[in-house]
Chain A
Amino acid sequence: LLLPWEAGGLSEPQWKQAQEYLKRFYPSDSKSRAPNRFGAQLKEMQKFFRLPETGVLDSRVIIIMRKPRCGLPDIGE
């Protein structure tokens, strides 16, 4: 089995940074046990930024994640 970041062709730090970003700005139900919670949160982000909702961490998503921004979530509380 591939590790989660390997499956997406990412380094472990990149994947962890993306996870932190999504956890903070696209919070989902903490009780959720969805097998691909990461992909679901990523799709939420892609929807918000009007990108194709692929659930894949591509360069366009990474560019947005690296931009300086407001500390409040984009969705939810």
Chain B
Amino acid sequence: YLPSKHRPKWTSKVVTYRIVSYTRDLPRVTVNQLVAKALNMWSKEIPLSFRRVILGTADIMIGFARGAHGDFYPFDGPGGTLAHAFEPGPGLGGDAHFDEDERWADGRGVGINFLFVATHELGHSLGLGHSSDPDSVMYPTYGAGDSENFQLSPGDIREIQELYGKSSS
């Protein structure tokens, strides 16, 4: 992790998000629930809340795309790069993109666990970089873990709280 003073962060206490496109692999309601779950994992540790919007521009725009999708970082088909996200800021800042060429899953059956990847990418959307700790959700490579016990590592909590402070609750 980089020292927090070098990392951009959201200055508002409420950050908006919008899911602009979905994968064919999962029901929309499941994607909505998993994105909310991923955001909640971060927000319960810090004094920041997320509000979903249906229309217009949100701080964090979330979507699935394949190949070139307008941000100079084209996806590469199945395997390889699964997703990417941009650090907090205007425009593309905060946005999270997922490769529609992957096979996405909700933790059951075959496929990439969307909750794991969404939690990781939304960590970037909040300003975190990659961690070399294999137990961290910010570890850069994907490993299928235990969905039931999936949680932030103590290092993840320490880093996000270094950036935003501790949750008052």
Write the residues of chain A forming the contact surface with B, with a CB cutoff of 8 angstroms.
Answer: 25, 48-50, 64, 67-74
Q: Is chain A's binding surface mostly helix, strand, loop or mixed?
A: loop
Instruction: Give the chain A neighbours of B102 by CB distance below 8 A.
Output: 68
Distance A69 CA – B129 CA, assembled complex (angstroms): 14
B80 and A49 form a contact (CB under 8 A): no
Instruction: Give the chain A neighbours of B120 by CB distance below 8 A.
Output: 70
A67 and B130 form a contact (CB under 8 A): no
Report which of B81, B117, B124, B132 forms a contact with A50, defined as CB distance below 8 A: B132
How many pairs, one residue from A and one from B, have CB atoms within 8 Å of each other in the complex? 51
Contacting A at CB under 8 A, from B46-87, are 73, 75, 79-85
B130 and A70 form a contact (CB under 8 A): yes
What 8 A-B pairs come out closest when comparing CB atoms? A71-B84, A71-B81, A67-B141, A68-B142, A69-B141, A74-B130, A48-B132, A70-B140
B83 and A49 form a contact (CB under 8 A): no
Report which of B79, B83, B112 forms a contact with A71, defined as CB distance below 8 A: B83
B132 and A71 form a contact (CB under 8 A): no
Instruction: Give the chain A neighbours of B117 by CB distance below 8 A.
Output: 70
B132 and A69 form a contact (CB under 8 A): no
B130 and A68 form a contact (CB under 8 A): no
A72 and B124 form a contact (CB under 8 A): yes
Report which of A50, A67, A72 forms a contact with B85, defined as CB distance below 8 A: A72
Q: How far is the CB of A19 from chain B (nearest CB, A)?
A: 15
A72 and B84 form a contact (CB under 8 A): yes
Report which of A48, A68, A74 forms a contact with B80, defined as CB distance below 8 A: A68
A–B complex contacts, Cβ < 8 Å, 25 sampled: A48-B130, A48-B132, A49-B132, A50-B132, A64-B141, A67-B142, A67-B143, A68-B80, A68-B81, A68-B82, A68-B141, A68-B142, A69-B82, A70-B83, A70-B120, A70-B130, A70-B140, A70-B141, A71-B75, A71-B81, A71-B84, A72-B124, A72-B140, A73-B130, A74-B130
B144 — nearest CB in chain A belongs to which residue?
A68
Given contacts A48-B132, A49-B132, A74-B130, contact A69 B112 (CB under 8 A): no
